Amino acid sequence: MTLRTIVTLPDPILRRKAKNVTTFDKNLQTLIDDMIETMREAPGVGLAAPQVGIPERLAVIEYAEEEEEEEEGTESPSRPPRPKQLFVIINPEIVKTSEEKVNGVEGCLSIPGLVGEVERHEKLQVKALNRHGKPVKIKAEGWLARIFQHEIDHLNGVLFTDLASRVWKMEPGEEEDRV
């Protein structure tokens, strides 16, 4: 596996609509593996192919939803953290969204140093192909739904800064999930 260079603004590939993936070959599998390694190394929770200079409808996402505490102030140190789920989505389509929307702070590996407040659907359903070309349906909510929307936006040439109600420079030590 190879770390890929993450493309940053103002590279025009970030503004182009990506093309559908039509060939599921060894090169695609290598690209997927490289993207997973690059996302983890960055570190980020999602990475779309245009972010590594490839104008194809492919994204990788890895995230673990935080468990809600049953009672406020209750901690369970014996419970292990939830494992991260890895998704490889090819030619994804959002087929269903909740009416409910929520605001959240987003950053992006392709726009280093900036974060913004973006309104997104709280829940959604995505139809895509997995890394082997098999159809999958994924239901996501909360931050995972936000990540899917962010990555699919990348495939359509849309950046979080286009949708943000406000954008600001990150302060040193300020953290966000970069997608």
- Specify which residues 58 forms β-bridges with: 90
Beta carbons within 8 Å of 40's beta carbon, 6+ residues apart: 62
So what CATH class is 12-65+84-169?
A: alpha beta
Centroid of chain to Cα 162: 16
SS (H, E, C) 136-173: EEEEEEHHHHHHHHHHHHHHCCCCHHHHCCEEEECCCC
Interatomic CA distance for residues 125 and 160, integer angstroms: 20
Tokens 């997927």, located at residue: 32
Domain map (residue ranges) of the chain: 12-65+84-169
Catalytic residues: 151
**Confidence band (pLDDT; 50, 70, 90) for 64?**
confident
Q: What is the pLDDT of residues 68-81, one digit of tens each?
A: 544 444 455 566 67
Please answer whether residues 91 and 21 qualify as being in contact, where contact means their C-beta atoms are separated by less than 8 angstroms: yes
Give pLDDT, residue 82.
Answer: 73
Give pLDDT, residue 137.
Answer: 98
Total residues found in the chain within this entry: 179
Q: Judge whether residue 28 has pLDDT over 80.
A: yes
Give pLDDT, residue 79.
Answer: 63
**Confidence band (pLDDT; 50, 70, 90) for 174?**
low
Tokens of 48: 């779309």
Q: What is the pLDDT of residues 113-139, one digit of tens each?
A: 999 999 999 999 999 999 999 999 999
Rg (CA), the chain: 16
Element (H, E) at 36: helix 26-41
